[in-house]
Amino acid sequence: MDKKLQSINLQKVPNHIAIIMDGNGRWAKNKGMQRVFGHKNALTAVREAVAGASDIGTKFITLYAFSTENWNRPKLEVDALMTLLITSLKKELSGFQKNGIKINSIGAIEQLPKKAQKTLTEVIEATKNNTTITLTFALSYGAREEIVNAIKNISKKVVNNNLDIEKIDEKIINNHLYTFNLPDVDFMIRTSGEQRISNFLLWQMAYAELYFTDVLWPDFRKEHLFDAIIDYQNRERRFGKTSEQIETDE
């Protein structure tokens, strides 16, 4: 067994890990290659992160795969990313089935190319009964847009007298988000040294622990995930309480 894995308390692992997979472009540039080369070599990191999360018993992992802002990147890069999405999902399907990985997606999926939508829908359907871990891809995703959409949908219900304005609470809002079927994020990891959350799961990360590493995403492996989890377990999650209250609760 991995020594770092042995150092992890499997009774206190985050239930939901979110990852901002940053650094593909810099990784490729460091090797004198085009940015697309970095994206292609990021797949191993995805496999390692999911496998590591599964090893420790985490049930949900969400990857920031393509933001709403990413549509502004050069067309060549966007087209390559969409093609990579299609080929990767098809290639990895047998592995998803073998390892009990359920695929999920959040974001404005209707903005993706039709072929990408079709492949994503097919993989989601094929893996819907898997139960080991739920792997969610945030695609054409932006948290502010998600919240705006939720407000619009809730407002329509109020206007049409299908919802009493006084009944609106956190649960109602949560049920109108893309992530209505996912738990809140416990732990967010961002690679490449950047220390921002970049419009990712703003509502869902209200009480998440944040972890930033200088490792570029294509170099990310299980050992880096385990390092992050060990750091997470050395923190005190108080949720507004005092340290003394936390000790009493335990």
Task: Give catalytic residue positions.
Answer: 22, 70
Question: Does the annotation list 197 as a binding residue?
Answer: yes
Question: Does the annotation list 100 as a binding residue?
Answer: no
The CA distance from 146 to 152, in Å, is 10
The CA distance from 49 to 55, in Å, is 10
Question: Does the annotation list 249 as a binding residue?
Answer: no
Question: Does the annotation list 153 as a binding residue?
Answer: no
Q: Is 213 left (phi over 0), alpha (psi -120 to 50) or beta?
A: beta
Question: Does the annotation list 219 as a binding residue?
Answer: no
The CA distance from 44 to 55, in Å, is 16
Cα torsion angle, 177, 50, 23, 6, sign: positive
**128 HSE (CA, 13 A, CB side):** 7
Question: Does the annotation list 217 as a binding residue?
Answer: no
Question: Does the annotation list 154 as a binding residue?
Answer: no
Tokens of 135: 């792997």
The CA distance from 212 to 216, in Å, is 11
Question: Does the annotation list 198 as a binding residue?
Answer: yes
Asked whether the beta carbons of 104 and 138 are under 8 A apart, the reply is no
Question: Does the annotation list 176 as a binding residue?
Answer: no
Strand, coil or helix: 75: helix
Question: Does the annotation list 73 as a binding residue?
Answer: yes
Question: Does the annotation list 133 as a binding residue?
Answer: no
91 contacts: CB under 8 Å, gap ≥ 6: none
Which parts of 160-211 fold into alpha helices (H)?
A: 170-174
Question: Does the annotation list 24 as a binding residue?
Answer: yes
The CA distance from 154 to 160, in Å, is 10
Residue linked to tokens 């990784």: 27
Question: Does the annotation list 235 as a binding residue?
Answer: no
Question: Does the annotation list 27 as a binding residue?
Answer: yes
Q: Residues forming the annotated binding site for Mg(2+)?
A: 22, 209
Q: Residues forming the annotated binding site?
A: 22-27, 35, 39, 67-69, 71, 73, 190, 196-198, 209
Q: Residues forming the annotated binding site for substrate?
A: 23-27, 35, 39, 67-69, 71, 73, 190, 196-198
